[in-house]
Structure 1
């Protein structure tokens, strides 16, 4: 693990201290993005950064680092990792507020931490099973992800699928959900409080270019279980086909749209490696 906080690298064995007066700790004003590198570069990093800035602006938290500065930090982290690509967690917390126990009109000195964990190399073609979770999705509570994760024994092979208390499909433990039937790509609507990942938006746009109709809506599990294809997306695992959910079987890695999107994303990676920001 390589750690960077507020302008300097920190040895892993050192103590990392966050004040109890940090409003990220006190009031949950804490935001993060997770993604990975490819030869030291991040695919769609402009989009990741833009979404983060949009969220921070909503809460009047100033981001003290530009996208170029962050990429330089990530490049240095990659060098410290001997060139190995890594999974990155970029965390922004509202910051210390001089021991005031009340909200501020703006936060100009947030705490910024970057965690870099080297990724083990693995062959492409990861396939998972899906499982409906008993834990219901509550957008107001991040800890339902923890509760849902307790239902999954092997996260490398199985992804948990959330539904709302009314039974609508939302998203996965660590992903956005898609399924295909009759040349139509379906995915849960953002009104359900899903986490709108950058790869989710990329998939929607790319599928339209490939000639698929895309419907974002409110769906019950039975509607997904009758699909031909099902896959999940996130910025670390990319696009992962789902082979089955219980007795419902899908095309998995043989799904036509999955294969097209998979190749298109490889092309996006190669483009990112070739080009500078």
Structure 2
């Protein structure tokens, strides 16, 4: 893998980060992970928007333009001989003094990692409620930050199986999110997902699925939900930017044998979106029925 870091392209084995980088010392760093389809990053503007808001909240001054990042992604794909890839964009606080600063970080470090999309596995997973509870965010909202120990410990509890997604509950017992995903379920024509007030990450794919659900005319409800709300639903699915939409086939002893027609329609629209290579979900304005299928209509 050829990695970009602060103007240089080097093999990953030769890429180094200073021990005085506060991304290493104190975890002051954020990242975004997204996919490219036919060489074009999907929902790039939305990922960068979330990244900038998060960086501002941890006092990192980062001024890279969207077009410059898109150009870096294109070069990263070329250097790594990848077309359909997974990109991880990291911004760390950069080098600073030993201790907790009060000033803004004005010299952050940018890293770009690239790998091909793994070969397609099953688009079905089982869900397991984790014993480990979801930690509360370090700040006002959860950031996609270097503070990932809660997720790592959750993965240890889950083990090495790849066809299972761990489901975090909050300390109060509310449904939160998956180990590496947001969680949705549908019952009686309503699309449910936990509220951001539970302390979950506002995933870019999560936002886009809510957008597609709205375009399809689904009722949408975000809130505080118990295990029973999830288990007595019609269908459950997980979302993230790299795995897209993964249908949940079972949680414990509860089977979800049939995928809701609504999930099928959302998946179709999501696939169409990737084929259109949208850089922002605002480009998908509405949905129309064309030749028996729901189609996105954009200006």
**TM, length-normalised to structure 1:** 0.92
Q: Deviations over 1:41-89 (max 9, x none)?
A: 1111110000101111222312242111111111111112323422211
Matched, 1:177 2:175: no
Q: Whole-Å Cα distance in 1 between the matches of residues 87 and 178 of structure 2?
A: 20
Decide whether aligned partners of structure 1 residues 103 and 10 sit closer, same or farther in structure 2, where only a CA change above 3 A counts. same
Q: Deviations over 1:9-35 (max 9, x none)?
A: 112231x33222222222221111111
What stretches of structure 2 of length at least 5 have no aligned partner?
139-146, 284-299
Q: Whole-Å Cα distance in 1 between the matches of residues 279 and 16 of structure 2?
A: 38
Shift of 1:255: 1.8
Shift of 1:195: 0.8
**Counterpart among 238, 262, 287 of residue 257 in structure 1:** 262
Structure 2 SS opposite 1:62: coil
Shift of 1:120: 2.7
Q: Whole-Å Cα distance in 2 between the matches of residues 195 and 236 of structure 1?
A: 15
The match for 2:16 is 17
**TM, length-normalised to structure 2:** 0.85
> Are the equivalent residues in 1 in contact too, given 2:42–2:279 (CA < 8 A)?
no
What stretches of structure 1 of length at least 5 have no aligned partner?
none
The match for 1:53 is 52
The match for 2:202 is 196
> Are the equivalent residues in 2 in contact too, given 1:228–1:251 (CA < 8 A)?
no
> Are the equivalent residues in 1 in contact too, given 2:43–2:278 (CA < 8 A)?
no
Structure 2 SS opposite 1:106: coil
Shift of 1:223: 1.0
Equivalences, count: 272
Q: 1:210-249 alignment to 2 at 5 Å?
A: 210-249=216-255
**Counterpart among 270, 273, 277 of residue 275 in structure 2:** 270
The match for 1:121 is 119
Over the aligned positions, Cα root-mean-square deviation in angstroms equals 2.0
Decide whether aligned partners of structure 1 residues 91 and 155 sit closer, same or farther in structure 2, where only a CA change above 3 A counts. farther
Q: Whole-Å Cα distance in 1 between the matches of residues 48 and 19 of structure 2?
A: 27
